[in-house]
Amino acid sequence: MGGIGVATGLTKQHDLILALNSGSSSLKFGIYCQGARDEEPLQTGSADGIGRDNGSLHIRSADGKSLVQRECIHESQIHALSLLATTIREYIHTSPVAVGHRVVHGGPKLVRHQLITVQVLDELRAATHFAPLHIPQALKLIASAQSIFPEAAHFACFDDAFHQTIPEVASRFALPRHYFDTGIRRYGFHGISYESLVHHFGKTLPKRAIFAHLGNGSSLCALRNGKSIDTTMGLTPTGGIPMGTRSGDLDPGVIIYLLRNEKLDADKLETLLNHQSGLFGLSSGQSDVKTLEERARSGDAESALALDIFATAVRKVIGGYMALLGGIDLVVFTGGIGEHSNQIRSSATHGLEAMGLTADKIKIFPTEEERQIARHCRSLIAQNK
């Protein structure tokens, strides 16, 4: 049981929940048990660089001690999960009673966190066309986790569930009603991250807040009384502000031009907009903000422009949401860029002082998606008893 640390006394089998947070090239996880006030981590970690030759595995104990830190090649999410499961069992000699899965998109019918059943899996397969990059991967990972942990209850925590409070004025695109009725609308994502921030601030969360989750995938959310009333991502996580490799919102005419003049089909468009655009496209091949900042300081104009375009997009959304909310009480930055790039935060809030955004209203807090998944699972276990 080495490495469990301060939570050793809490490791009864019925306490353990495994939270899985799947990204495009990473798999983050946490093993949690029920503490006196909140979910307590026994182990946290991630498999990074999935599908690349520079992969790594990092696992930490509750007290922050490094249990595993090694370079390794992860062929797929499933391979990474298998390796994580093996390593987890080396330190915790019991299986989780529940596994929580972050599912980015559930389509128009799966809009709340819930137990994964055969019917839920069928609905998820039927919604594949809403998120062809995300749902097939989620289905494979769920199937693998169910095979590895067959005795556990498996729950789906949907990233767009938090945004179900968005009114039609914000969720509807300017298209004929038929398309809205068939599910073409603003769903919004990073909801589990935003839920974790709402949980953190609790009763101290003021009436008018803006959350900015800035990372390789980036979005912002306007909240009134802790409820989402608007967000930047739309039908898919490609929409909104420019991101690491995603374009964000485009003039629809750009798509028509690419179809007609560049002869791109749907698959090539998808690759361009999700993997070759954003900071990556603007800088001719670099999406890491830290590297771009270093290059910009060295005089690289292309890198400086990419960062300026990104920060300006964030600033425009913050200003717009301040107008929507009728003022601002709190802005929270989270995510890898939001937490660690002072340059982006400074650029994204520059000039908004005149609108009432003072320094004391700007906070930085790390997202706790895995812990939030565990919280939902604990609640759902109680509901399904």
What amino acid positions are annotated as catalytic residues?
159
Closest CA to 86 of 124, 119, 51, 59: 59
Exposed/middle/buried for residue 175 (C-beta within 10 Å: 0-12, 13-18, 19+): exposed
Taking the CA of residue 197 as centre, how many other CA atoms within 13 Å lie in the half-sphere pointing to its CB?
31
Closest CA to 70 of 46, 41, 43, 42: 46
The position carrying tokens 């062929």 is: 75
CA–CA separation, 87 vs 232, rounded Å? 38
Instruction: Please report, for residues 98, 368, 381, the alpha-carbon distance to residue 113 in angstroms, rounded to integers and kept in the order given.
Output: 14, 17, 12
At residue 57, the 3 state secondary structure works out as: strand
CA–CA separation, 97 vs 2, rounded Å? 21
- Secondary structure of the chain: what % helix, strand, coil (to 5)? 45, 20, 35
CA–CA separation, 287 vs 289, rounded Å? 6
Contacts of 142 (CB under 8 A, 6+ apart): 101, 116, 121, 154, 156
CA–CA separation, 286 vs 282, rounded Å? 8
Amino acid sitting at position 57: L
CA–CA separation, 44 vs 74, rounded Å? 18
Handedness of CA 75, 26, 184, 241 (dihedral sign): negative
Reported residue count of the chain is 385
Amino acid sitting at position 5: G
Q: State CA 247 to chain mean position distance.
A: 17
Closest CA to 114 of 377, 369, 372: 377
